[in-house]
Structure 1
Amino acid sequence: MWILTRDIKKHSKKITMSFQESHRSSDEEEALYSQCRAAYLAVYRSSLTNITSKQQLCLLQQAGRNPSLATLNKYWTPRTSKLNFDDFFEILRCEKETEETELMRAFKKMDVNGDGYVTHSDLEKALTTRGEKMTTEEVNTIFSLADINKDGKLNYAEFCRLLLSTAEQCQVAALEKLEADAKLKIQNFGSQSYSPPKSSVSSSSAAAAAAQVAATHPQPPETSDTTGRKDSRSSSRPSSARSRRSSLANSITMTSSSAKANKVPEPVGLQEWHHSYVKGCFFLEDDGSIGSLQYQLHVPQPTSVYLTIQPLSLSHRPDKCSPWTTVDTALFVMSAGETKEDSALVHFTESKDKEVHYVWKGELNSGTYYLLPFTSGCRLKKRSKKSLSDKPVELVYRTDTGELDLTRELREALSDIFEVIDLDGNGLLSLEEYNFFELRTSGEKCDKDAWAVCKENFDMRKNQLTRQGFIELNLMEATEKNGDPADLWLTLEAMGYNRMLELVEACPFQIDVHCEGTQLSLQPLSMDSGPKLLNQTLQKSITARTGAKALRGQENVFIYTFRGEHRISSLIANKTNQKVTVHVNNEQSRNCSSSRGMNVFAVEVPARSKMVCQHVLPINDKQDWTYNCVETILTCT
């Protein structure tokens, strides 16, 4: 019964992971983003506004999609209370535009005579009795619009063209409005050259300036270093309009990591210190955000601490590193107050002692601390998936005796997953460790009774699941599904694997804590407030280490630019009573990768709030890099 419930929850929790995403170039991705933003702003005044009902999700029609009730239910589950602009963009990427061939195929099934026409009675019968049933009044409305000859027959080829033409006109109108708004904002507030991206909807200028007004952050394919173009045209605006321009330029040159000396040497006699370690993993979520567990550290008395975090290689060959070992990692140390709000930032790792070790060395008073893992998103990010022609790796097969078994490739992947979720590294899975895996893949926990059932059926030691037992559990689930790999794929994709069994949307890591002269306790946590606490902590780490610079002409909008040893982060503080939109241009940067995935974008900051603008890392660690960013106010409403 537990396995059945687990399967149901797994489908409802991770159904979005089965969506297919076609390969797009950066131009196509940018055009799609413009189309999405235009559709959104055709209905809402701001992309900060949330979709709050399933009916509002019909906004997909503004972007040329034709969502059925089943499609809407797929994205708006009983647990959904709202969707934001980023969610809408991800949905749009997954849903194909309605195509004429698809519509024609449906109508031809109703064309009993094969003459290109469907009678009113045949159409009414089909639409009111099959699938998502329409009312007679709705069918009559269709006929009143499409029965051009008024002969009771529908020329469905003409109707399909009319339908798609109307949808295209809606998209073009929305894009042209967005383009006009963008030009107006640039005319009033900026001097950047205007070059709208190419549109797949129309060859006209309907694609709008996604680069100028893209609000929030999509996760398109990894960008490379680009060369910006300065606008050599003189301004034709009156001086009063030019004076309203509010911008700030920052330029920072960073030396390569290979040229930097190790600033945090390993303490003498570290081998004699008390040591504990724990594993974890960063996961890319469907909305592009990054999540992980949090950890609790307890030290019983004041002590010197040496703390490191690093990516964890799972390579089966000692001469080959895992591809995610270049992902940047950091660890924020927070004092644990009586409430999460009382927690205070103590320090964070920003130095390196080795190629991949991020380190902090210092003194901690006795007490309890939260350890919050962090990665910038500059290197762990959504990437274009391989084309659908690539055949997925086989997960199961039939033996000579006809029994189902797991392939060698799947067994290796499951063994690696076991390595990741074995948080204490003792070679066994406790119920707590296994439940972190269950929550990740199915959204449900395994209770003690179900764990007892596992003990009777799978290999366990000391009431903990062995690696072999974990693989046997997955084999049993595949056997119960008669070899259908759907559930296995849901599990694998939830853990960051693609259909080639490559770990591409996750980064395992290991935290090591050394304390001098005292024992320590290190435990994993899963706090609901973890992401919010990490964001607040990240903001504090930026504002505490750098001064604020006001945007010219805007005394209450500030930019904080943190320069660490290996990372640059910026934050926008809006102290006005109005929402502001800040245009960010990184085109003059060199050898830089932004967590936003774009060189030019915009950030909408609500009134009286702070927002992390971006993180920036070098594309090539072995070369110098130059961060050159211009922030400009577009709107203040």
Structure 2
Amino acid sequence: MSLWYMTQMLKAMFSTTTPTKTVPQITLRKRLQPKVAAISTSSNMTSRSRPTSARPSFSKRSSLDQSSYQSNDNLEYECKAAYLVVFDSMEENIETREQLIQVLQQAGRNPTKKCLRQYWTNDTDSISFSEFVDICRKVKPTTEDELLQAFKKIDINGDGYIDNSELKKVLTTRGDRMTTQEIQEIIDEVDENKDGKLDYKEFSKMMLNTQEQCKKLAVEYMEKKTKKKQVTRTSNNNTEEDHGDKAKKENREPVRKGKDQEKDVGKASDKQTGSKKEVEKKEGKATELSEDDDSDEDDSDDIVFGSCHTNHVSNKKDKFGSQSSLKSGPAPSLTRTSPKVKERSKSPVAGKDLKLPKPKRLKDWNLTHSKGCFYFDDDKIISHQYEMRILNDTSVWITVEPITIRPGNDLVSTQEEKRSPVDTMLFILRSDDTLVSFTEQRDVKGKYAIRCDLEKGVYKLIPFTTGCRFKPRMSEPTSETKLVKKSDDSYVLTKAFKEALTDIFEMCDLDGNGYLNRSEFNYFNLRTSGEEVTDKEWEVVESTMDLKNGEITRQGFVKLNQMEAEDNEGDTEELWVTLMSMGFNKTLKLDEACPFVMDIYSETCVAKLKVIDLEVGGKALDDAVIDVTKGKGEVAKVRNMRDLFLHTYMDDFRACMVLENKSHHNVKLSIDSSKSENCTPNTDRLELTITVPSRSSMIAQHLMPTKETKAWLVRTQENVIK
């Protein structure tokens, strides 16, 4: 987490514009710099509006504010350096919104989402380098005054210092929040005298200085790359000249006959062979020089480039490695090469004071409540998914946590498992599946939360669990609980079965009002039979059962299953299908379902929520997890691979690894986490063999502490197979 990131959130909190999700971008490998990324802000960009109905024209200079142009070539030179960090040449176009974000950040800018939508609309196909320069002329980097104004908002007594506790409070409760641990890491770096205060004037100067250093390093990288090409070109030219001179010399030899001719032919052959060896020798030196430039020994001065908004590599348009660059061999490394074995450790979760920073006056906010559930379906995890409609721009506070339907009869069966709850997170997406935010904070009991500012609009809410603790049962119980017994001439449900049906009713009562409406009953039917409730079937329900306000009561739901038992004359096969579909085993223990509850507090309006599906998260959820891992995690180049990267995101509760293959070929590799300590994976084993398709990213593995009362250590090693 960077100091730059913190500054962006401060500006977003106290800005009149919509806060942006900002992205740490360039990390220097020095004492302080690993925590400092390229600093940029968005205030200037949001101050000018542009219609979003069509892509803005960059062909005419008059379409931009003339006063925004710089009078020298320095800007274009810096833009060129930033561009060549992302692309192989300036001839390549920016072809995705994510690439535009990345190059703008390399140039020291950090545009808001609102501004990005002005420059990258639905009609935009690509942006050229010259158009990119025009954008940079319009979008100004952060000034010291802007930073100071942001800090002054929380400088209560105006003495030029901010109390660390107040800073933590603001950054964990407002805007695009940070975790307490992330803030503490930053404070530890800058609070050298440990007086509990931050001199934000010096801090601002340091951050702006870091921005200039990052620009300078980008320029140095470009110049180094250019110099390397010139050395290679000169070497090749010298080789050709040397070869040509020797050929001319041979052609000037007189032609002889007989034995003399044969001798001279032999000599000529020897000369030519010598010439070839000399060529090979010189070519070898050129290659050696190129490889030396790329060696790991030079890695200490490398720059790490990353972006929180960089999506997984598209198979369609992204150009993170052109054909020409692949043919020409390895390029200078922009990312550290991963060590043979990587270790990351965390202290016990249970020993930490983990509390969620609730907004003030939360009781005055509008509350929308819903339950949901994770199930297994063909070894895949499915869950309820939601649509949330926000009628006005507002701040929201969303929590999600696993719940116990009936104590002693669910996944939480032991005291140790109570201390290590199932992870139930939530991702907020726009209607086009772009990531907005996710529940990153968690308390010690397992409740996840997110506070963010949302614009008016429609959003998707997709619950997520890693699968590290919510797993399919390993084997079926040897015994079976009776569901039906015969009493006189009729069949009645057993007490154990009635209790299980009551549990199912509670799981299906998503709005928690004590009744099942048609929509809730429909999702129950979809889960147990795969079919929706037709109008005729609902009419049967209405005619045979006592409803309250058109909704099914608990007694009515149990009666419905009683009727099914009587119709089947005591045969329980279909009843077991219902129970197994809802996550119960043969002893009627709920071990393959994880109910959860979600509370949405909105400050200025009521959030309209409805269930839209019961299915796997699919590509949208995978993309969101990949975006978060690549944006917030560490990136390392897989050893001996030019275009294969391992992204690792690890917080106090979980770790996620994402593989990114930028090459034009599939890559098969193994990831071995078997030497990890106190870790449970989402997979069956800690040793995996994975094939990563060309120009794509994929989730490799999730890990969580097996016991949260103990420290946990993630130790991984990857090995390319082919």
- TM-score > 0.5 by shorter chain: yes
Secondary structure of 1:347's match? Answer: strand
Deviation at 1:320, TM superposition (A): 12
The CA distance in 1 between the partners of 2:452 and 2:412, in whole Å, is 31
Who is 1:474 aligned against? 561
TM-score, structure 1 normalization: 0.57
CA distance 1:318–1:379, shift in 2 (3 Å): closer
Are 1:282 and 2:364 matched, yes or no?
no
**Partner amino acid, structure 1, of 2:682:** S
Which is further off, 620-629 or 317-326? 317-326
1:378 aligned residue? 468
Contact 1:256-1:623 at 8 Å conserved across structures? yes
2:365 pairs with 1:270? no
Amino acid at match of 1:331: L
1:626 counterpart = 2:721:
no
Report deviation, 1:384.
1.9
- The share of aligned pairs that are identical, in percent, is 34
| Residue 462 of structure 1: how far off its partner (Å) | 1.4
Alignment of 1:101-500 (within 5 A): 248-262=340-354, 264-286=356-378, 288-315=379-406, 326-336=421-431, 342-386=432-476, 390-399=478-487, 401-500=488-587
Amino acid at match of 1:374: F
Alpha carbons 2:388, 2:458 under 8 Å: kept = yes
Mark the runs of 5 or more structure 2 residues left unpaired by the alignment: 1-336
Task: Tell me the C-alpha RMSD between the 2 structures.
Answer: 2.3
Indicate the structure (1 or 2) with the bigger Cα radius of gyration.
Answer: 2
Contact 1:284 1:380 in 2 (8 A): no
CA contact (8 A) 2:381 2:616 kept: no
Instruction: Provide the rounded CA distance (Å) in 2 between the counterparts of 1:527 and 1:576.
Output: 36
The answer to whether the aligner puts 1:506 opposite 2:593 as a matched pair is yes
| Distance in structure 2 (CA, Å) of the matches to 1:466 and 1:422 | 10
Conserved? CA contact 2:350–2:444, under 8 Å: no
Supply the distance in 2 between the matched residues of 1:446 and 1:318 (Cα, whole angstroms).
Answer: 29
Kept after mapping to 1: 8 A contact 2:356/2:443: yes
Task: Determine the C-alpha separation between the residues in 1 that align with 2:617 and 2:460.
Answer: 10
Q: Which has the higher helix share?
A: 2
Asked whether the equivalents of residues 678 and 706 of structure 2 are also in contact (C-alpha less than 8 Å), the reply is yes
- 1:247·1:632 contact (CA, 8 Å) conserved in 2? no
For residues 545 and 570 of structure 1, the distance between their equivalents in structure 2, rounded to whole angstroms, comes to: 12
Shift of 1:405: 0.8
1:297: Cα distance to partner?
1.2
Report the 3-state secondary structure (helix = DSSP H, G, I; strand = E; otherwise coil) of the residue aligned with 1:259: coil
- Write the deviation string for residues 229-278 of structure 1: whole angstroms up to 9, x where unpaired: xxxxxxxxxxxxxxxx9975321111111233336312222122110110
| SS across alignment from 2:605 | coil
Instruction: Work out which structure has the larger RCO, using CA pairs closer than 8 Å and 6 or more positions apart in sequence.
Output: 1
Residue 532 of structure 1 pairs with residue 619 of structure 2: yes
8 Å Cα contact 1:438/1:446 also seen in 2: yes
* Aligned partners of 1:574 and 1:610 also within 8 Å: yes
Deviations 1:160-188 (A, max 9, x none): xxxxxxxxxxxxxxxxxxxxxxxxxxxxx
Q: 2:413, 2:429 → 1: CA distance?
A: 30
Label 1:358 to 1:576 Cα distance change in 2 as closer, same or farther (>3 A). same
Q: How has the CA–CA distance of structure 1 residues 292 and 594 changed in structure 2, closer, same or farther, with 3 Å as cutoff?
A: same
Q: Rate the CA distance shift 1:304–1:573 in 2: closer, same or farther, 3 A.
A: same
Deviation of 1:543 (Å): 1.2
Amino acid in the other structure paired with 2:701: Q
Post-superposition CA distance 1:508-541 (Å, at most 9, x none): 0011111113211111111778422111111111
> In the aligned structure 2, how far is the partner of 1:382 from the partner of 1:446?
28
Residue 460 of structure 1, CA deviation: 1.1
Question: SS in structure 1 opposite 2:404?
Answer: coil
1:605 equivalenced with 2:692 (yes/no): yes
Q: Residues 569-610 of structure 1, C-alpha deviation per residue, up to 9 Å, x if partnerless?
A: 001112222222221111221111111121212112222221
Would you say the 8 A contact 1:589–1:629 is kept in 2? yes
Letter in 2 for 1:334: L
- Whether the 8 Å CA contact 1:274–1:514 is kept in 2: the answer is yes
Most deviating of 610-619 and 456-465: 456-465
Alpha-carbon displacement from aligned partner over 1:457-479 (angstroms, at most 9, x marks no partner): 11211111111111111111111
User: Deviations for 1:175-202, whole angstroms, at most 9, x for unmatched residues?
Assistant: xxxxxxxxxxxxxxxxxxxxxxxxxxxx
In 2: Cα distance, 1:504 partner to 1:315 partner: 12
Q: Aligned partners of 1:335 and 1:504: how far apart in 2?
A: 33
**Are 1:583 and 2:666 counterparts?**
no
Conserved 8 A contact 2:389-2:607? yes
- Shift in Å, 1:408: 0.6
Q: Is the 8 A contact 1:350 1:566 kept in 2?
A: no
Q: Call closer, same or farther: CA 1:298–1:319 in 2, change over 3 Å.
A: closer
Determine if contact 1:264/1:361 at 8 Å carries over to the other structure. Answer: no
Verify the 8 A CA contact 2:341 2:715 in the aligned structure 1. yes
Q: For residue 273 of structure 2, what is the aligned residue in structure 1?
A: none
Using the size of structure 2 for normalisation, the TM-score is 0.51
Structure-2 change in CA distance of 1:335 and 1:580 (3 Å): same
Distance in 1, matches of 2:408 and 2:616, equals 38
Return the letter of the residue paired with 2:644: V
1:52-131 equivalences in 2 (<5 Å): none
Instruction: Name the amino acid aligned to 2:545.
Output: F
The DSSP-based 3-state class of the residue aligned with 2:357 is: coil
The 2-side partners of 1:319 and 1:456 are apart by 35
CA distance in 2, matches of 1:601, 1:623: 25
Distance 1:329 1:604, change over 3 A: same
Cα contact 1:429–1:464 (8 A) shared by 2: yes
Residues in 2 aligned to 1:575 and 1:588: alpha-carbon distance in whole angstroms: 28
Q: Provide structure 1 residue ranges, at least 5 long, that are not aligned to the other structure.
A: 1-244, 337-341
Task: State the partner residue of 1:176.
Answer: none
Deviation, 1:567, is 0.9
Distance 1:516 1:610, change over 3 A: same
